Amino acid sequence: MRIASIGECMIELRQMPGGHLTRSFGGDTLNTAVYLARLGASVDYVTALGDDPLSDEMIAGWQDEGVGTERVLRLKGKLPGLYMIETNGAGERHFYHWRDASAVRGLMSLPETEALLASLTGYDLIYLSAITLSLFDAMGRDRLVAALRRCRASGVRVAFDTNFRARGWPDLDLARMAFEQAFAASDIVLASVEDLRALYPDDGDGALFDRIDAGEVVLKLATPASVVRENGEVMRVEAQPVTGTVVDTTAAGDSFSAAYLHARLNGSEPVAAARAGHHLACTVVCHPGAIIPREAMPDMRGQTA
């Protein structure tokens, strides 16, 4: 099974005691790609970077993680985006971004774009998020969604994560329209109450579910649980208690998506896949940063039965 993950990876700065900063890289769809690769999936990252040393470093890091980079476009004179993370005592994070001129912003309007989008038909699953959609203008989003529809027509499955950041959308009505387009173009929607309630504040959990017309939906709740709907059947999945200390919730949802999709692609039923998602996320939140050390990866055996 081959997976294409579309989005943006940025340089990550993390504040440390004494005002010092550590540097790494991260981005929602890249985080998911890394965790998919660690779980054994064949995954390529689809994005654009600059021709600078930091972009070279990111490419090398992805390759070291087993993420394919043949779909990464390199743009002369451009740079990757940058973000800084602050976390509070409960592990909740706050982000500061510098990304308006990042290389990936032009991904849907390059001479190479058509060939890149055509190559997506060679995958079994395409994964993207609402942050992916927020990178592009309306024309770029329409071009991407049209490509997703063509891929589905050729038998490729599409998974959409509702990862929502209000600062990426100048107008919430535009965001709602983009979400509706993505829902209609997807086979699997990985959603959360937190994301959807920011767009639809008056909806209860059931109404949020009803807005998504995909055949398979996972809705992560405000409590440590999720609800899975497949072909009209709704099932609740409780998360295991976190046994460690929560230090950073960055990439909790990204790792959930990776474990869920990996399990589903390997034949697990949705409830078992959701259990696997919760299991990996419970480990990730006990480590700082988006990508935890490889040696900290949990044993996933027995989680997808």
Active site residue ranges: 254
Degrees (nearest 5) of the Cα angle 241, 88, 24? Answer: 90
| Residue 265, CA distances (Å) to 1, 27, 280 in order | 7, 23, 17
Q: Which amino acid is residue 118, in one-letter code? A: A
Sheet containing strand 188-192, strands side by side = 72-75, 42-50, 2-6, 125-129, 157-161, 188-192, 216-220, 225-230, 233-238
Which residues are within 8 A (CB) of 122 and not within 5 positions of it... i.e. 6 or more apart? 2
| Residue 217, CA distances (Å) to 8, 71, 84, 282 in order | 24, 28, 31, 21
> 43 pairs with which residues across the strands?
3
Cβ 122 vs Cβ 63: under 8 Å: no
Residue with the two structure tokens 């476009």: 73
Other C-beta atoms closer than 10 Å to the C-beta of 302 total 10
First and final CA of the chain: distance in angstroms? 20
